[in-house]
Amino acid sequence: MHIADFSIGMLGANGIVGGGFGLAAGAALSAQLRGDERVALCFFGDGAINQGAFHEISNLAAIWRLPLILLCENNQFAMSARVTATVAGGDLANRALAYGFPGENVDGMDVLAVREAVGRAAQRARAGDGPTLIVAECFRFAGHFSADTMAYRTREEADPWLERDPVASFRHTMIEQGVVDEAEADSIERAADAAVREALEFAKQSPFPEPASAWEDVYG
């Protein structure tokens, strides 16, 4: 769940809600000081936008004009409460106004729309214009955890979102635009499914780590 791969610039997730804000700002500052035109992109949910760290980092990033993109995945429910009941002020993107940088809403179910919004924000960041907040409006299909009964929402309100599944929609778009045909799309899906099954089987067959390894890479 909380994975990282420094080789591709993925600094990792953690179990703290909003815990990525400081990490992303640090990475953005590092890029700015090195002048290598890298941009830090921080993903977080609507439940994290009320964390104090969001406001602290937004303020600092604006002052220092850090190359930082704050991308809020507004899936409507955080863990188990509607965003309208937990976030004051209505439009989440307006949070950026207090710090003087752009806030933009985008259809989070549209792969290309999100890509374009992030591209614009990255261009601003590389030009030295500072951070951008992007709020991707989406919907969580499953519960927050395996035992979540989702009593806080109805099946009827989920149905329209399920019909706009971004994976299925993007497949349709690629076929419609002639990027792939049906057979090629099917082949890609089969390959992805096989890769996941292979990884799962590898994990099942792998031995548990030695207890002493729990102390590796731990610093006091």
Handedness of CA 87, 88, 91, 93 (dihedral sign): negative
- Which residue among the candidates 95, 124, 140, 171 is catalytic per the annotation? 140
40-45 β-sheet, strand order: 40-45, 68-74, 132-137, 103-107
Neighbours of 99 (CB within 10 A): 18
Tell me if residue 140 is catalytic: yes
- CA dihedral for 29, 32, 38, 43, sign (positive or negative): positive
144 a catalytic residue: yes
CA angle centred on 138, ends 137 and 144, rounded to 5° = 130
Neighbours of 153 (CB within 10 A): 15
Identify any residues that bridge with 198 across adjacent strands, giving them in sequence order: none
Considering the candidates 144, 153, 171, 172, report the single residue annotated as catalytic: 144
Candidates 152, 164, 197, 219; catalytic one:
152
Catalytic residues: 140, 144, 152
